[in-house]
Amino acid sequence: MSPSYLKRLAVFCSILAITGCGTTSSKNSGESTGVVINVNPKLSVIQGPASAAVEVRKQPISILVLHHTASSLPSALETLQGRNKGHTVGVHYLVSAELPQARIFRMCPDSLAAFHAGKSAWGKFDSLNQSSLGIEIVNYDGNVNPYPKPQVEAVLALAQYLVATHQISPENVVAHSDIAVGRKIDPGSLFPWEYFAANGVGAWPDTKDVQAFRILLKSKKLSNAAIQQLLRTYGYRLDDNSDKTLGLALESFQRHFRGSKVDGVADDETVALLQALVKKYRSAPPKVASPARSGKV
C-alpha cells in the first residue's frame, strides 16, 4: 500500500468523520465501506467488510481475546471474509499495523458471536466464541516482531472501550494462547500486557506480592500438583496432569506474564507471578460481618 494512497484514504476518512456521512463505499481498496464510527475522541472505528464466520450470540460477553493475524492486513481481510478456502474464521475487530496511524476495522457487531477462539477454555468457560469478543492485531508473529506504538495505542483505546462497555473483568482479558494451551502462541510474548494493565485493561500481579512469594519459594518449593492447581485456579485448562501438559500451560502463562523467557519451566519467578495473580484475582473476597441491626427497616 503506497503512502500516497494511505494519505488519500486518511483524508477521505477524516472528511467522513467530520461530516458524519452516511453509507458510502471505498471503490479501490475492498477493505471497508468507508464509514467511520467515532466512538469517542480517542477511538475511531472503520466499518469493515462483513466477517464470514459468525452466528447468533447465545451467551453474555464475559471475555476479551487478543490475537495476532500471522498475516498481512490484506490477507487477514480476505481470510475474515471467507475467501481463504479451508479457513473458517471470524472476528469482531481487526487492527492494522500501519504508520503513522493504525486503523481499526469492525468486522461484525459485538452482538454476534464470531469464530475466533476455536477449541478453547478459560476458567468455567468452554468453547469461548459464544462468551467472548475477539480482536485480531496485524503482526506476522508477536513472539518475534514488536508491536508498533500507534497500533498498541489503537488496540488499547479499543480494549478500554470494550472492557468498560461489557464490564469485562481484568482476569478475563486473555491471549489466544491462554485459552488454547499447546495449540496457539498469539498474540505473543512481545505483546505489552503490563502496559495494558497499567492502563486499565487486563490483569497484572502486584510487585510486592511477587517479591514476597519469591522469598517463600526459596525455602519451600511447590509440587507439580500444587502448580497445576494454581494454573487451573487462575483459569488455564490443563487436560491432564502430565509433565508435558504442565510445561505447555506454563509456556502459555509465561507468554502473557513473563515474556522475556518462555521455556515452560516452573522457576521461582514464574511460580511467584502465578501465586500473586491467584491472590489478587482469584481469592475469595473476605467475608463481611453482618452489620448490627440498627432498628431501621
Contacts of 255 (CB under 8 A, 6+ apart): 143, 175, 177, 185, 188, 189, 262
Rounded Cα–Cα distance for residues 2 and 68 (Å): 23
Q: Is 251 labeled as catalytic in the residue annotation?
A: no
Q: What amino acid is encoded at 157 in this protein?
A: A
We find the least distance from the C-beta atom of residue 280 to Zn ion, in angstroms, to be: 26
Q: Is 251 in the site for Zn ion (CB under 5 A)?
A: no
Of 75, 9, 67, give the one whose Cα is nearest residue 36.
Answer: 9
Q: Give the Cα-Cα-Cα angle 278, 282, 283 (nearest 5 degrees).
A: 95
Nearest C-alpha neighbor of 119 from the set 271, 231, 237, 20: 237
Residue nearer to Zn ion on the CB measure, 16 or 53: 53
**Of the candidates 9, 63, 67, 156, which one interacts with Zn ion according to CB under 5 A?**
67
**What CA–CA distance (Å, rounded) separates 26 from 30?**
7
Min. distance of Cβ 60 from Zn ion in angstroms?
A: 22
**213 vs 236 by CB, closer to Zn ion:** 236
Q: Pick the catalytic residue: 31, 55, 78, 136?
A: 136
CB of 67 to Zn ion, least distance (A): 3
- State the Cα–Cα distance between residues 277 and 88, nearest whole angstrom: 35
Assess 186 for contact with Zn ion (CB under 5 A): yes
Question: Least separation, in Å, of the C-beta of 117 and Zn ion?
Answer: 8
For position 255 contacting Zn ion by CB under 5 A, the verdict is: no
Min dist. Cβ of residue 153 to Zn ion (A): 21
Which residues, numbered 1-60, are part of the site for Zn ion (CB under 5 A)?
none
176 binds Zn ion (CB under 5 A): yes
Write the binding mask 137 to 156 for Zn ion: x where contact by CB under 5 A, - elsewhere: --------------------
Judge whether 9 and 26 are in contact, CB under 8 Å.
Answer: yes
- Grid look-up 494454581 returns 230
Q: Which stretch binds Zn ion (CB under 5 A): 14-22, 62-70, 154-162, 280-288?
A: 62-70
Q: Which residues are catalytic?
A: 136
User: Which residues are at the interface with Zn ion (CB under 5 A)?
Assistant: 67, 176, 186
